[in-house]
Amino acid sequence: MILPIYLYGQPVLRKIASDITQEYPNLKELIANMFETMYNADGIGLAAPQIGLDIRLFVIDLEPLAEDNPQYADFKKVFINPRIVEYSGDIVKMDEGCLSLPGISEPVEREANIRIQYLDENFVAHDETYGDFFARCIQHEYDHIEGKLFIDKISGIRRQLIKGKLNNLIKGRTNCGYRVKAVQK
Ligand code: ZN
């Protein structure tokens, strides 16, 4: 089932999300719905707050990038109760966008490498290190469950320049091709 994506301005996007247990209701179905919602919006990552749930869960699938970059094939992952325990390497700047901020793309500085501990969809524990675009995607989604958005990391001047776009998103004014839920009707 395709779920509406919560737009900038929704308070749930600013909450620090909580851990879940294996007993979380309909978790399998929820994860399947998150992937379906993400694919429908042509996204490569989606975090639970973006569908209105303040829980520590996000999904990533980099397959759409694999045509030009084979290393991204088969990177389809579910992250439950993740903790980034280490950031390292150079600061890298790269343009980012977000399904909760359609129409906005800004350069964001992030650490090159991360180490993350998480549970997968079967509640098997993992402790993994990532670099490159993997680390960027994971950091972007991880920020969501910490109540942060990529525009928090851009300069004050850049934020001033996109203020009109942000106000439109609060009012639900966007022509993105997917279902959204704005804070104002
Ligand atoms: Zn996002």
All structural domains of the chain with their residue ranges: 5-181
**Residues with Cβ within 5 Å of ion ligand 1?**
98
What average pLDDT does the chain have?
97
- CA proximity to 129, closest of 115, 145, 143, 147: 115
The pLDDT, as a whole number, for residue 185 is 72
Ligand 1: centre distance to CA 126 (Å)? 23
Ligand 1: centre distance to CA 97 (Å)? 7
The pLDDT, as a whole number, for residue 31 is 98
Residue 183 has pLDDT above 90, yes or no: yes
- Annotate 27-46 with b (16+ C-beta within 10 A) or e (fewer): beebbebbbebbeebebbbb
Ligand 1: centre distance to CA 125 (Å)? 24
Helix (H, G, I), strand (E, B) or coil at 39: helix
- CATH number for domain 5-181, candidates 3.90.45.10, 1.10.3300.10, 3.50.50.60, 3.30.450.40: 3.90.45.10
The pLDDT, as a whole number, for residue 184 is 87
Q: What is the mean pLDDT of residues 12-30?
A: 98
Tell me the three-class secondary structure of 47-61, residue by residue: EHHHHCCCECEEEEE
For the four alpha carbons of 179, 153, 16 and 167, in that order, the dihedral sign comes to negative
Indicate if 67 belongs to the active site: no
The pLDDT, as a whole number, for residue 26 is 97
pLDDT tens track for 85-119:
999 999 999 999 999 999 999 999 999 999 999 99
Ligand 1: centre distance to CA 141 (Å)? 6
Q: Which of these is catalytic: 23, 86, 111, 141?
A: 141
